[in-house]
Amino acid sequence: MKRILAAVLACASLCPAYAEEKTEEKIDRIPKIHGVFRGRYEGEWPDYQQRFQVRNARVSLEGAVLPGLTYYFRADISDRGKMKFLDGYANWNFARGFAVRAGQFRVPFGVDAFRGPGSYIFANRAFLVKNMANVRQVGVQLGYTFPKFPLQLQAGVFNSKPIGDHEVWQDAMDFAAKATLRIGNVTVAPSFLTMKPYAARTNHADISVSWKWERWLLEGEYQYMHYCNDMYRDVNGWTAFASYTLPVNFGRFNEWNFHGRFDGMTDFSTGQPDADGHLKTDAPSRRRITVGTSLAFVQKPVRAEILLDYEKFFYNNGVTAPRGSGDKIVAELIVKF
């Protein structure tokens, strides 16, 4: 009898430890699917022309393999009528605070660039995102988040050639690094990027400061772009915006947002030389004021929104606005799930 009792007690003492071990290893491996749809109407002056677009029909798939080891795939089924593969990577939090990411993804540079179609505040992105450095590449990134200090560091090395072809051997690589510091309601994020997609290497420096308090979000971001060997004059880009979100009860809508932005950019070149080896101006200097509003139904993970923006452009004397970059009105129906 004593032997039986001793065996039972020994088993009981081991079972909790075994159960705890199994609980720590338990993980949900069922993939999760998300999507964003943006249907758009645009009208542009002075000779009023208009169009409809499926601006984005985006799907993503994410899941976990092991504790701390995750994967993520994302593609645009339609980006203005074209299919694009965007992201495909694995992320491993292999030690406390440390994470390594490998694959194709957005390089750690800038802040406004990391907003996706389901989290845009404005219908169109700021110039420093759309033109200067909106970069996805193939490579590897290492990140560290301090355990007792609100600071995150990220740095990575990437291919310099276009992401559509991973077969190209290359002698030049791209490098990016970013720090994000959060103190109370304020977030400060400096970052640096050097890349060589064509003949000219360009160096980019970026600083962003944002303040979020209750219903308000204020943010400013400045970016400087330098062409090595003085192949083109330096570029300056900036954006500053304010957004206010008001809780409402208008039928299905429970959020009403008001937003305004001032952004601009000096003369810009993509860095691709012409037949004579010179860089041309691909986007002329411009400034823009955007004002708008949106009504949304938000119940996570679902967001359904109707957005209306008006954009007023300003160009230097003698410059004619390129088609698509003139005064316009933009209306969108956005669905995120």
- Tens digit of pLDDT for each residue in 170-213? 899 999 999 999 999 999 999 999 999 888 899 999 999 999 99
Residues facing 33 on adjacent strands: 61
Distance CA(305)–CA(58), nearest Å, equals: 16
**Cα separation of the two ends of the chain:** 61
- What is the Cα gyration radius of the chain? 24
Neighbouring residues of 242: CB distance < 8 A, sequence distance ≥ 6: 216, 217, 218, 259, 260, 261
Q: Return the H-helix or E-strand segment holding 21.
A: helix 2-25
pTM score, whole prediction: 0.89
pLDDT given at position 24:
52
Distance CA(56)–CA(86), nearest Å, equals: 12
Least confident interval from 4-18, 127-141, 153-167: 4-18
pLDDT given at position 254:
97
- The answer to whether the peptide bond before residue 46 is cis (omega within 30 degrees of 0) is yes
Please determine, for residue 115, whether its predicted confidence score (pLDDT) is greater than 50: yes
| Confidence category of residue 11, pLDDT binned at 50, 70, 90 | very low
Could you count the other beta carbons within 10 Å of the beta carbon of residue 326? 17
pLDDT given at position 109:
98
